Amino acid sequence: MNRTEPSWAFYRTFLQVLREGSLSGAARALKLTQPTVGRHIEQIEHSLGTTLFIRTQQGLSPTHTALALRPYAEAMEATSAALLRVASSEGQGVRGTVRITASDIIAVEVLPPILAQLHATHPELVIELAPSNRMQDLLSREADIAVRMVPPSQEVLVARRLGRIELGLYGHRSYVQRHPPITHLDQLNDYALMGYDKQTLSIPSMFPDAPWLSEMRLALRTDSDLALLAALRAGFGLGFCQVGIASRDPNLQRLLPQQVSLGLDTWLVMHEDLRDSPRYSVTFAALAQGLIEYIGG
């Protein structure tokens, strides 16, 4: 029997139903009506001659066929996103929109002067800045360029290692003056220490040369870099801070600089399809130069 090849729109709907587990959830994500989503699933099932979902009390449960099709549909989705990237990068001159993602602390404390200079040089460039500590997916075009602290694993990404951002132990001058001088790591637990909450267990893997980090007793836990920096500036206690950021505030005093000097590898990442577009290549170069200068002090 001759079967009509399903359109990409049906595979797109199929993927969203897989991810949401319901027709209503997929409809909201795709900004379609629920009956339209249902028709898409019916039509793709008819075209393929197989059942993709089974209705249960918990929602739609994918069949083995649906799960087998998923990686191929995701490959089609990635290809579609690549086509959009190439098409949107056409044209002469440095103009258009570039979406940049970086961690909260980098986006708020480091990038603004770099972006201000970039926009002053190229006023027709529109910058979308997406602060997030979540690793945004460049392949799905959640962002065009990313500042990351880990090397990328996808081969289709252009990556440049910029260097290591140094972290030191700091306290607000008012807090340091109220406490006895600290001369050794063994004294740290006598102070109010600040650090990460859920990410605490991953710190030893990030800093293998500082196993003592896992033994720290924290008086303030949060997974927000900005909250930690604000608490440090308020004099709550001692915490880690990027040396480049702390150097701008005369009230932040570095402690044990010879014993506590950690480093974060810093990478700039972009999809390879964008490298020949003026707006992306210029933005990538400006970010690289600005971050290298920041890392170098």
Give the Cα separation of 121 and 115 in Å (integer). Answer: 10
168 lies in the same domain as 222: yes
CATH at residue 244? 3.40.190.10
Q: Whole-model pTM?
A: 0.66
pLDDT digits (tens, 9 = 90+) for 162-193: 999 999 999 999 999 999 888 888 888 889 98
Mean pLDDT is lowest, of 57-61, 106-110, 119-123, for 57-61
Q: Please determine, for residue 98, whether its predicted confidence score (pLDDT) is greater than 60.
A: yes
In this structure, what DSSP letter does residue 154 have?
-
The pLDDT of residue 245: 95
Q: Which domain holds residue 24?
A: 8-88
Task: Report the number of distinct structural domains present in the chain.
Answer: 3
- Residue 232 pLDDT grade (very low, low, confident, very high; cuts 50, 70, 90): very high
- Asked whether residue 190 is domain-assigned, the answer is yes
Residues 228, 171: contact at Cβ < 8 Å? no
- Residue 138 pLDDT grade (very low, low, confident, very high; cuts 50, 70, 90): low
Residue range 17-42: average pLDDT? Answer: 88
- Asked whether residue 158 is domain-assigned, the answer is no
27 lies in the same domain as 106: no
Give the Cα separation of 239 and 200 in Å (integer). Answer: 13
pLDDT digits (tens, 9 = 90+) for 57-70: 878 888 999 898 88
- The bridge status of strand 193-195 relative to strand 218-221 is parallel
25 lies in the same domain as 57: yes
- Asked whether residue 127 is domain-assigned, the answer is yes
Residues 175, 261: contact at Cβ < 8 Å? no
Give the Cα separation of 23 and 117 in Å (integer). Answer: 46
The pLDDT of residue 113: 95
